[in-house]
Structures are given as structure tokens and as C-alpha cells.
Structure 1
Amino acid sequence: MAKISAEENYFSAKKAMSVETQLSAILKNLEISPELVKTICEGEIDRDFIVALNALRQKLNSMKEYEEIENFKAVEEMKPIYDLARLKASHRSRDFLLAKIKEIRNLTLDLNEFQNKELLKYKTLDYFLIERNPEAAIEVCDTYINTARQYYFDNFDLYKNALTRVITGQLDREIKFGSSGESVVSMLFRTTKNIANPKLNGIFNQTGAESSKQNYFSMGTRGLAIHSLEKNQLKAIDIESSGKQLFIEDVFYQFNLALSENSKKEYQFISKFFSVKNNKTSNVEIEMKKMIFMHVFEPIFTIGKELVSNYILNSFDALGILMCISSIAKIQTDLHFETVDNYFHSLSMLLWPRFQTLIDLHVERLAKLSSDKKVSSFRFNSYPHEVTRQFADFISSIIKISECFDSTVLLAGMGRMRNGMNNLLKKLSITSKDKEMEKVFLVNNYDQILIIFKENEVDGGNPENKNI
């Protein structure tokens, strides 16, 4: 019996020691040092404060676990102290973040640099608010949304105004095939080598005329930055002082390049700052980040759409509009930011119908030129017709611009123009009384098209282009 009693005492003592060890560990976890309290309540909000805040988070998590133990006196006694520390930490974190966010109101601020250097450094404060004071976290989030939204709106509105003040070559009336007298159109007549019997009239002759300021049937050097997607974003402060003159596609490209780059950086910041500390991002959190982003950038998307509506949709510059469409594909391919896809889709839905309308006008013009009345007034010669040059410039420019995307609408429109041009040339050719000259006229005109294709670096032998 004595032996059993001794064993019972041993196990009882061992159990007591185990309980005491566990209790000691619990009390140590619950213990909050004066240094920690002082840092939370009075210390500068710096690296030491963040360390103290993380320590407080861990202790609050421990407290939550121990609260489930019934009649745990130590927890009941420590809870008011932890609540006070939590409230003080929340209050100071909230005030600090709100003060930081208000600095964004300075329009000359580099927001992305400020986000990386001043806000992300203190993202632990927002984590703490999300976990321990959701109401304060919502206030911080709402304040950030409203402040960043206004910052972007003011800056992009200034940028749009600076860009639109230097727009050049706005085409507010229709340019027509065969209307070389219009001052807005430059006819780039070239040396033309007729392919026929050298004894025939006009062969090997050089035709020419003075070129005016802009040829809207040819892309020329327009769109070089867009075509190569050079990220040479113009700053608003430099636009007017630089003396640059911008076509509509330059304005469109510069604005949307700035929008895309800033929106991508903004979304990356939101994803890092407004998130909780876990390894797995939930669908709810992803949707929340998208919602925050859309609240911030929605006014900027509106400015972009208004830019198109007010300055581009009333233009008769078909090549400029197509270059705007092309720049959308270039920007999307390069930046890979799906969150703004809907915005760019809405721009495409505005631009494509206008481009199609302008193609329809050109098709109608070719039909009018092919009318019996117009054809009967044609004084036959074997030189390439001026419409041929305009048509070849226009079509080769379209092919050049559209290399980065496919569109059945585009191909259909060019096919209709091709048919209209063929019909015109055939009707003009038969005004000759000489069957041989009729052939010479057609050969010269089709050769002119191939020459212009070559000059514009478009492969006329390519099966796709050959059909056009």
C-alpha cells in the first residue's frame, strides 16, 4: 500500500509541475511589459513602434485563445489592459495613416514614390486595424480612395488639357479621293515608269506637284512612337514649352499610356497595402482590391472616354483613328494589365464605328467617281491617276498600322475599297479609243500601287495583302 501511495504522490507531483509549467508559459504570453506599453502609447511611429505593434498582435491572438478557457482569472484580469492597449494602438495607427494619406493632396507629389517609401513602410498599421479595429480600417480605406481619386483626377485632367492644347492637323471635314485641290491634302506624286512600248505617249515621264503641309491619305512618319511602343511619356509641364505638335493618335497614345502605367502601379500598391497577413488570397479579398481600384480610377476612365468623344470621334482622319485603335492593342500587349481591359474595350467600341463610317465615305466617293457623268469628263492619258496614288497610300498605311491585330471588319472595308478602285480604273481605261493604251493605263496604275506599297514597306506579294 505504501508503494502505491508513493507512486500516486510522484505522479501527482509530476502532473502539478506540468500544469505549473504550462501556466507559467501562459502567463508569460499574457504578460505585457512596461516598455511595450510605453512604445505603443507614447513612442514615435517608426520601426520600433511596428515591432511593438506586431508583438501586441501576437499577444492579442494568445488572449483570444485563452479566453475560451472557463474561469481563467489571469485572462479576466489582463483583458482590460489589452483592450486599452489595442484601442490606443488603433487610435495612433489611424491618425498616423490619415495624416500620411492627406499628403497625397499635393499635386506635385510623385504618388508612386510616396506609396513605396511612405505608405507601404507602414502597412503593418493597416493590417492591425483590419484585424483589431475594422471601423478605423474602413475609415482609412475610404479616405485613401477619396484622396487618391481626387489626386489622379486633377493630374489627368491637367494632362489631358495640356495634350489637347497642342493638337495639330485636326481634320474637321471630309477628305475625298480625287480632290487634290483641297489644302489639307498633300498629293505626293512620284516618278512613274510606265511599262509599255517606249514610243507611246507619256512613257517614262515624271509627274509632280508641290506637296502641302499634310497628306491624310498617308501615314508618313506619324505614329512612330506608337508603332514601336516607345515609352517616351510626355510630362504635362514639358508639352507646351517643348513646342511639340501632336496628332490625335499621339494625344490618345500619350494619355492612355500614362493611364495604363499609373493604373498598374496603383493596383499593385492596393494589392500590397489593403490586404491581410496570410499566405492565401481569398476571392473576397481580390474583389475588394478591384473595387478599391475602380473607385480610385473610374473618373480617369471617364476623362479618357471624353477625350475620344470630344476630340477624335468628330475627326475625318481615318488613319489617325486607326492608329488610336492600334495603340490600344500595343499597350495591352506590352503592359499585360487585365483590370483595364474593359476600359480599352469601351474605347474600341467608340473608335471602330467611326473608322467604319469613314471607310464607307471613301467607298461612296469611289462609286461617285465611277459614275458615268464623272467618267465622261475624264481626259484620258496613260499616267497613273491621282486617285490611284491616294488609294495606294491609304491602303498601304492601313496595312502597316494594322499589322498587330486582325479584324474582319477592317478586311471587309478594304475589300470594298479595292472593288471600288478596280471598277473606277476599268471605267477610266475604256475611255481610251486605243485598246493598247487601255492596257497601258491599267498596267501603269497597278504598277503605281505596287511601287507605293514597296516605298511604304508593305509586301504586295504577301497572300493577305495581295487580296487587298
Structure 2
Amino acid sequence: MIRKITESDVDEAWLNYLLELNKKMTYVKANVSASKAGSSGGKAGKAGKAGPPPIRALKDVGPELERLRIRASGIIRDFFLNKIRSLRIPNTNIQILQQSVLLKYKELHRFLMERHGDGAAEVRQTYVNTMRWYFYNHFERYSKGLGKLQAVIADKTDLIGVEESAKKGLFGTGKVALKDKTNVFALGDRIETLRQQDAGVILVHVAEDKSQKYPYEALFRSFNLTMIDNASSEYLFIVEFFATDNEKMAADLAKSVFHDIFEPTEKMGLMTTKQYVDNSYDAVGILLCIRINTQLTMELQRRRVPALEAYTNATNMLLWPRFQHIMDLHFQSVKKMAANKQVLASVRDVHPHYVTRRYAEFAASILTLNEEYSDPNLNNSLQRLRNEVEGLLARMANELSEHKNRIVFLINNYDLIASVLKESAGKTVEAELEHVNALLSVQIGAFVDEELIPYFGNLVNFVKHAEQVKNVAGIDADRFEKISYEFNTTWRQNITSINASVIQLFSNFKNGTTVLHAVLGQLIVYYTRFCVLLEQRFQGGGKANGGSGRKQEAGIASWKQPPVGVQTVMVEIKKFRSNF
């Protein structure tokens, strides 16, 4: 055993001899301790019984074992130092070396910790220094490589309330080619970065060869996923390799070693995130990073790796304040636009304003990313922005001279918001959609009467007035005849005109169909109510519902034209409903 330990290279056989040596040293130490305890008991007289006398051979073997301990400790120290230093060789696979060498011979390290504390401390510090250098250099290089792949997303002009003219360059063209710039307000395919949890990380050399560009959240995910994968593996290795019998001491040592190794890398990662965040105006991208960070935090908890908790918390502290700041910038930009008389005066038609689409896409993005979180602060920020946008649209509508056009402007804008929200799914979006649909319904209701008055104003006003009269029989029969005759001679032409007007005012097919149905439906309601009043006035004589009732009173029979039947009007209206 002595020759094998002192003259052979470290291998599995050498390990077995060392374990045998350790057993002998443990036995000798236990025997000596027992003898000393017995000797102390003998001196105490009656207080204790003398223990067994020490084995004489142990006195001879003791010094030899000590020399062997020192020699073995030196060999183990040199063995680990050489293996650890090999990690600095380019293209060394660290995990293979850890698993196939360091953990394979972890009992050697345990021997060193128990039998030669200074040697174990030197091995530990050399490992810390080497791995700190390894991770920092690899992640710094990876971070720089990812930085070259970043796509242009947003700048300070990409706010909801910034005028289109402010987004133009010197010669009227955008600062960045449209094909190279992602829509900063729409979530689109960017959510796939969040959904594809099993997707691999970005390989810089492959992306460069393909000239690929990525939004920041994809780079953020790739960097930090690589970070937690490496950190998890490293932490679990540290826990196993530097283990001791005392669990609390082992846990504290593992955390200390991990912190010493990863602290520079964590600081570099946080600095990289801060450099992007401080100059970002992409609220959607930052919220995606927040959600990705939450996913990674939960993954670390699932793996039972607490070592990066401070890092993920610090990352959140960088992301959330900037996100809220960008939300405030959006709010202020809309508020500023609402106070800009020049911008308001530029509203000259009833088509949706570009601000409306920006807001709709942005709101849908934020709501979608809040679906599984229901963050009240996020909802409050979005509601604050929504109120400001609604106020802006109201002020824009008031710039139009005709009252009907003001209503049409609001309908078109609310319909655009509703259409964009419908493309997203989720309870948070549904709640917002319900609010927008309520606003839309109110404006459509206002438009219905506004559209009917020019064509059927006399009918509408007569019905509203007559229904307030206690005794319908007291209303002059000539007034009924006049209203009926006017309706009979103009209703087909008026319906055609209404159809053409709606087609012109509402370019969105679905929205136009909804509005047209509402207008023509309300016309049927008014005319039906007129016919009811007609029957009440003439007590059922000459029914206006298309029936051939018994003429009990000569009044209706003497009219130039009998009232057109409600059913006839409904049949004609159905033709227009299907033609829109």
C-alpha cells in the first residue's frame, strides 16, 4: 500500500488504497482516543474504570501513517490542481471533466478536507479562480455575440401619441427602414419567445451565417437560460464535490463557493440588461423579459437551485421601473397630443386615426402578457392610458363640423379597437373588449337616430309625440294620413340612400353591416309603432299590417294610398341587409 500510494499515479486502484489508508488512520485515531480516555479515568480513581491499554504496535505505525498522510495529501493536491488548471485549455468540456474526473475522485477531496485543511483550501480557491475566469469570459463573449444580433425595435419617437411627422427623417423617410423595424405596439409572433419554453438557445455563429436578427427579449432569454443551465449544473456539482458531514456547513460552503465563482458573471449580466433597459422604449419587449425572468425563476425553484435568486430579483428591479416609465411616456404623449391644436385640427375625415391602431395593438399586447398574472398595477396603468386615449378621440371628434360625422368618427375608432382586441384571446382581453363594445353600442345608438332623421324625421317625431298623448283618438286624422303618404312615396328611395351612406361612412364590412342592421332595424321599430298608433286611432279599421281587415271607418278608406304593410317593408329591408 505504501509503495502504491507513494509511487503510482492516481487511478481507481490508487483511490482504493487511499480509502484503506483512511480506514487505518481512523482506527488508530479511535484507539488512541479511547486509551487516553481510559487513562484519564484511571487517574480519577473510583470515579472511573481504567480503559484498555493501548496496542503497542500502534505506536510504531502511527508515525508511518502520518508520513503517508502528508505524502498522499500532496499527491491529491497536485492531482486536483492539474485537473482544475486544464479547464483553462481552449475547448475543454467542463461538465465532462467534472463528472468523469472530479466527482469520480471526490473521495480524494473529502480525504484532503479531513486530513489536510490547507491543501483542501488551496484546491478550493484554485477551483474558484479558474471557474470564475471560465464563466466570466465565456458569458462575456456570448453576450457580445448576442448584441450583434439585436434587431431595431423602438426609439423615443415610438410612442402612441407621437405625430407621424416626428417619425420622419430629414427627407421625409423613416430613420430605420420599415422592413428592418418590428411593430413596437403589436405582440404578434414575439410571444413565441415566451411560449416555447423547450426551445434551445441562440447559437451566435449560426445566426451570423444566416444574417438573422432577434428582438431583445429573445437575446435576453437565450443569455439567461444559458446562465441558469450552467449555474444549475455548477451549483449541483459544488454541493456534491464540496460536501461535508455537517449539512448546514456544507450548504453554506456551497453558497459561498458558488457566489465567489458567479458574482462577476452575474454583475456582467445585470450590466448588459441595464445598458439595454436604460435606452429602451419598447414596453412590450421589456414586459416579455419580465415574464421570461419569472419563468426562469420558477424553473430554478423546480430544480431546487437557490443560488441565482438574488440575480433574478435584481433583474426584476431593473425591468419593472423602466417598463412603468415607458408606460408613463405613452400616457404623456397622448395627453400632449390632446392639447396640440394643430394635431386636432388635422382631423378632417371619419376614418380611424393612426393613434387608435397603435393603442389597440399596444393594449392587446399588454393584456395578453398579463393573462396568467392579473397584475393590478399593470391593469391600472393600462386603464389610465385608455382613459386618456378616449379623451383624445372625443376631442378629435369635436373638430368635425357635422354632428353625425363626429359620431361616425368615434364608431370607426372604437370599432378598430374592438377588432384588434378580438384577434387576441383571454379573460383580460374579454373584459377590455366588453368596455369598448359598450362605448361602441352607445355611439351606434346615437348614429341610428342621426341617420334616420333626414329621411324619416317626420315619422320619428310623430311617433315620439303621439306616444306621449293620453288619447290617441284626439290626434287629427289628417296628420296620420300625411305621415303615411310621405312614408309610402319615399321609403324605398330613402332606404337606398341610407344604404349608400353607410357604405361610404363605414369601410369596415362587419362594422358597416352592424350599423346598417341597427338603422334599418330601428326604422322597422318606428314604423311598427306608427302602425300600432294608427290602429288605436281608427280602432282597428283598415289594418296597416297588410291584413284585409273590415273597414269600420271611412277615414283610411278615403286616403289616396293605404298604409304600406310592415311585412312589405321588412322584406325590402332584408335585401339591403344581404347586399352590404
Deviation track 1:370-394 (CA, whole Å, cap 9, x = no partner) reads 2262464143422222111000101
State whether residues 330 and 404 of structure 1, in contact with CA within 8 Å, keep that contact through their aligned partners in structure 2.
Answer: no
- Aligned mate of 1:180, from 158, 164, 172: 164
Residue 428 of structure 1: how far off its partner (Å):
1.9
Q: State the AA in 1 paired with 2:414.
A: Y
Alignment counterpart, residue 58 of structure 1, candidates 5, 15, 23: 23
Structure 1 residue 441, shift from structure 2 partner: 2.4
1:105 to 78, 88, 107: 88
How far the C-alpha of 1:263 sits from its partner, in A, is: 0.4
Cα root mean square deviation, aligned: 2.4
Is residue 75 from structure 1 mapped to residue 58 from structure 2 by the alignment?
A: yes
Quote the residue 1:292 is aligned against. Answer: 257
Q: How does 1:157-168 map to 2 (within 5 A)?
A: 157-168=140-151
Letter in 1 for 2:87: I
Structure 1 446/458 Cα, relative in aligned 2: closer, same or farther at 3 Å?
Answer: farther
Q: How does 1:132-281 map to 2 (within 5 A)?
A: 132-178=115-161, 179-181=163-165, 182=167, 213-276=181-244, 278=245, 281=246
Corresponding residue of 2:50: none
Q: Which amino acid aligns with 1:151?
A: Y
SS in 2 for 1:121: coil
Q: Distance between the aligned counterparts of 1:212 and 1:424, measured in 2? A: 31
CA distance in 2, matches of 1:398, 1:324: 13
- Native 8 Å contact 2:113 2:120 kept in 1: yes
Relative to structure 1, is the Cα distance of residues 461 and 407 closer, same or farther in structure 2, using a 3 angstrom cutoff? Answer: closer
- Matches of 1:219 and 1:121 in 2, distance apart? 49
* Structure with higher helix content: 2
Letter in 2 for 1:60: M
1:319 pairs with one of 284, 293, 298: 284
Matched, 1:445 2:413: yes
1:425 maps to which residue? 393
C-alpha spacing 1:139/1:67, structure 2 compared with 1 (3 Å): same
Instruction: Supply the AA of the counterpart residue of 2:65.
Output: Y
Amino acid at match of 1:144: Y
Tell me how far apart the structure 1 counterparts of residues 77 and 195 of structure 2 sit (CA, whole Å).
47
- 1:223-272 Cα offsets, whole Å, 9 max, x none, are 42233323311234434223221222122111111111100110000011
SS in 2 for 1:447: helix
Mapping of 1:32-47 within 5 angstroms? 36-47=1-12
Please name the residue that 2:367 is paired with: 399
1:331 corresponds to which of 290, 296, 316? 296
- Give the C-alpha shift of residue 308 in structure 1: 1.3
Residue 463 of structure 1 deviates from its aligned partner by: 3.5
Instruction: State whether residues 429 and 442 of structure 1, in contact with CA within 8 Å, keep that contact through their aligned partners in structure 2.
Output: yes
What does residue 309 of structure 2 align with? 341
Q: Which moved more, 1:432-441 or 1:76-85?
A: 432-441
Match of 1:40, as an amino acid?
A: I
* Long gaps (5+) in structure 2: 37-52, 437-580
Partner of 1:84: 67
Alignment check: 8 A CA contact 1:429 1:439 kept: yes
2:350 is the alignment partner of 1:382: yes
Kindly state the Cα deviation for residue 43 of structure 1 after the two structures are TM-superposed: 2.4
Instruction: State the Cα distance separating 1:406 from its structure 2 match.
Output: 4.4
User: 1:215: how far off?
Assistant: 1.5
Q: Which residue of 2 aligns with 1:303?
A: 268
Aligned AA (1:150): W
Residue 216 (structure 1) shift: 1.1
Q: Percent sequence identity over matched residues?
A: 30
> How far has the Cα of 1:465 moved from its partner?
6.9
- Matched residues in 1 for 2:122 and 2:164: separation? 64
From the superposition, tell whether residues 211 and 298 of structure 1 become closer, same or farther in structure 2 (CA, over 3 Å). closer
Per-residue CA distance 1:111-159 (angstroms, 9 max, x = gap): 1222112211111110000111111111110000000110001100110
- Partners of 2:284 and 2:224 lie apart in 1 by 18
2:131 counterpart letter in structure 1: A
Distance 1:334 1:95, change over 3 A: same
- Aligned mates of 1:125, 1:132 — CA distance in 2: 10
**Which letter maps to 1:285?**
A
What one-letter code is carried by the residue in structure 1 that aligns with 2:278? L
Of 331-340 and 162-171, more deviation after overlay is shown by: 331-340
Shift of the alpha carbon at 1:282? Answer: 2.1
User: Which residue of structure 1 lines up, in the alignment, with residue 104 of structure 2?
Assistant: 121
Which range is displaced more, 234-243 or 265-274? Answer: 234-243
User: What SS does the aligned partner of 1:352 have?
Assistant: helix
Measure how far apart 1:105 and its partner are. Answer: 0.6
Q: Give the direction of change, closer, same or farther, for the CA distance of 1:381–1:140 in structure 2 (3 Å limit).
A: same
Task: Tell me the equivalent position of 1:413.
Answer: 381
3-state SS in 1 of match to 2:209: coil
Residue 100 to residue 183, structure 1, CA distance change in 2 (3 Å): farther
Write the distance in 2 (CA, Å) between the matches of 1:361 and 1:461: 23
Q: Does 1:130 align with 2:108?
A: no
Deviation digits for residues 311-358 of structure 1 (CA, Å, limit 9, x no counterpart): 332122222222111210121223423321211111111111111111
Pair 442,122 (structure 1): closer, same or farther in 2 beyond 3 Å: same
- For normalisation by structure 1, the TM-score amounts to 0.81
Report the counterpart of residue 30 of structure 1 in structure 2.
none
Distance 1:301 1:396 in 2: 34
Instruction: Measure, in 2, the Cα distance between the counterparts of 1:61 and 1:79.
Output: 11
Matches of 2:310 and 2:433, distance apart in 1:
31
Q: Which moved more, 1:364-373 or 1:251-260?
A: 364-373
Structure 1 residues 137, 332: CA separation in 2 closer, same or farther (over 3 Å shift)?
same
Change (3 A) 1:387 1:435: same
* Counterpart amino acid of residue 422 in structure 1: E
Distance 2:235 2:282 in 1: 35
Separation in structure 2 between the aligned mates of residue 434 and residue 342 of structure 1, nearest angstrom: 60
Partner-residue secondary structure (3-state), 2:159? coil
TM-score, normalised relative to structure 2: 0.66
Q: d(CA) in 2 for partners of 1:270 and 1:293?
A: 7
* Larger Rg belongs to: 2
Secondary structure of the corresponding residue to residue 221 of structure 1: helix
Give the AA of the match of 2:130: T
Residues 77 and 119, structure 2, Cα contact 8 Å, conserved in 1: yes
Change (3 A) 1:465 1:253: farther
CA contact (8 A) 2:156 2:281 kept: yes
Q: Distance in 2 between the 1:49 and 1:367 partners?
A: 78
Which structure's relative contact order is higher, taking Cα pairs within 8 Å and 6+ residues apart? 1
